[in-house]
Amino acid sequence: MYSLLRRALFMLEPERAHSLALAMAQVAHRSGLLFRTPDEPQPVIAMGLRFANRVGLAAGFDKNGRYVDALAALGFGFVEVGTVTPRPQAGQPLPRLFRLPQSDALINRMGFPNDGADVVAARLARRRSKSMCGAVCGVNIGKNASTPNEQAIDDYVACLRKLAPYADYIAVNVSSPNTQDLRQLQRIDHLQPILEALLAERDALAASTGRRIPLLTKISPDVTQDELLDLARMMMRLQMDGVIATNTTVTRPGVEDDPLRAQRGGLSGAPLRPLALRTVETLRSVFEGRIAIVGVGGVGSAADAHAMLEAGADLLQIYTAMIYRGPRLVHEMVREIRRLTS
């Protein structure tokens, strides 16, 4: 069925198609046609959280927290909202999302379009009070494009303070290629003070509420091996809860002949897989099971999911493969992982 729907959606501009697909899922969920099945008999425990299964939906699919329960009903064990910034912003000018169907890939330069932390927090608060859905909901946070890097800490802390009460975990996005100079924040001298401030704020919130929120960092696949090792060791020192590996790449592996390769932005999908797997393998060698790894990048089949877990991921996320394969992919992955781990 999805192959027919995809054919119709692919006749539309990508962002319009995405919005339409989300609206359809929401209508199906609210009408009772789409509902969450009972949780797996053997849930996964990671970062102190209970995941119904290991397959999650990456940030960017539901930027503003409008569709969490509808998306979870597709079979995901967790859904990550965002990226959310302190103040609303429109993102980059259109067009900013491009399909590369020959490569099962996308290029995007979205630039964190979102409704802002106050609006998203209110939306997630309403969801939390009404939802019967057991799926984990994470929130991915970033800085506003207009905020200088020197003031980035203030943006990240503001987002954490507003969104943590309604999130199951917080992911710190310093690796998107679509906000000018954002990736400079991955340098140890920039990132460590940001994470230290967030950890302190998280611990203060935990002391006052009794609820501790896991904190993760989302990293780029484009850092060098030495930079990656330095990042991993720093996260070990700070005792971070997890890392999401990886964001999109500004390189163009495997799409050198595609006419859209020259579009600015981050490449996701199948061509990203080798970079993501290599990153996860390196992180595993440093973390040795002490920090959770969420593997994302080019996971487009049950075999890819198995390979990501074998590389060292504890959980995994998909995004681009949902565009090309549809919801059936989620169930295929969950079944295969269950078979391999039973």
Residue whose pair of structure tokens reads 């401030």 in the numeric block: 197
Decide if 228 contacts 285 (C-beta within 8 A): no
116 in helix, strand or coil?
A: coil
At 132 the pLDDT is: 56
* Residues designated as active site: 176
At 149 the pLDDT is: 95
For 13-24, give the DSSP string.
-HHHHHHHHHHH
CA–CA gap between residue 308 and residue 299 (Å, rounded): 8
At 118 the pLDDT is: 98
CA–CA gap between residue 254 and residue 27 (Å, rounded): 37
Decide if 123 contacts 64 (C-beta within 8 A): yes
Kindly give, in sequence order, each residue whose CB lies less than 8 Å from that of residue 274, ignoring residues fewer than 6 positions away.
253, 298
Q: Where are the beta strands (DSSP E) in the chain?
A: 44-46, 49-51, 55-57, 78-84, 97-100, 105-108, 136-141, 169-173, 215-219, 242-245, 266-269, 292-296, 315-318
At 59 the pLDDT is: 97
At 128 the pLDDT is: 77
Burial of 236 (0-12, 13-18, 19+ CB in 10 A): middle
Q: What is the token pair recorded at 187?
A: 């340098």
Of the candidate CATH numbers 2.40.50.140, 3.20.20.70, 3.40.50.10310, 3.40.640.10, the domain formed by 2-341 belongs to 3.20.20.70
Q: Where are the domains of the chain?
A: 2-341
CA–CA gap between residue 234 and residue 147 (Å, rounded): 25
At 218 the pLDDT is: 97
Q: What is the token pair recorded at 309?
A: 């877990």
At 38 the pLDDT is: 56
Decide if 140 contacts 181 (C-beta within 8 A): no
At 43 the pLDDT is: 86
User: Cα 183 from chain centroid?
Assistant: 16
CA–CA gap between residue 298 and residue 41 (Å, rounded): 28
Q: At what angle do helices 273-287 and 225-238 cross, to 10 degrees?
A: 40
Q: pTM here?
A: 0.95
289: left (phi over 0), alpha (psi -120 to 50) or beta: left
Residue by residue, pLDDT tens for the chain (342 residues) are 788 889 999 999 999 999 999 999 999 988 888 766 655 567 899 999 999 999 999 999 999 999 999 999 999 999 999 999 999 999 999 999 999 999 999 999 999 999 999 999 999 999 876 655 678 999 999 999 999 999 999 999 999 999 999 999 999 999 999 899 999 999 999 999 999 999 999 999 999 999 999 999 999 999 999 999 999 999 999 999 999 999 999 999 999 999 999 999 999 999 999 999 999 999 999 999 999 999 999 999 999 999 999 999 999 999 999 999 999 999 999 998 988 776
At 40 the pLDDT is: 57
At 41 the pLDDT is: 60
123: left (phi over 0), alpha (psi -120 to 50) or beta: alpha
4: left (phi over 0), alpha (psi -120 to 50) or beta: alpha
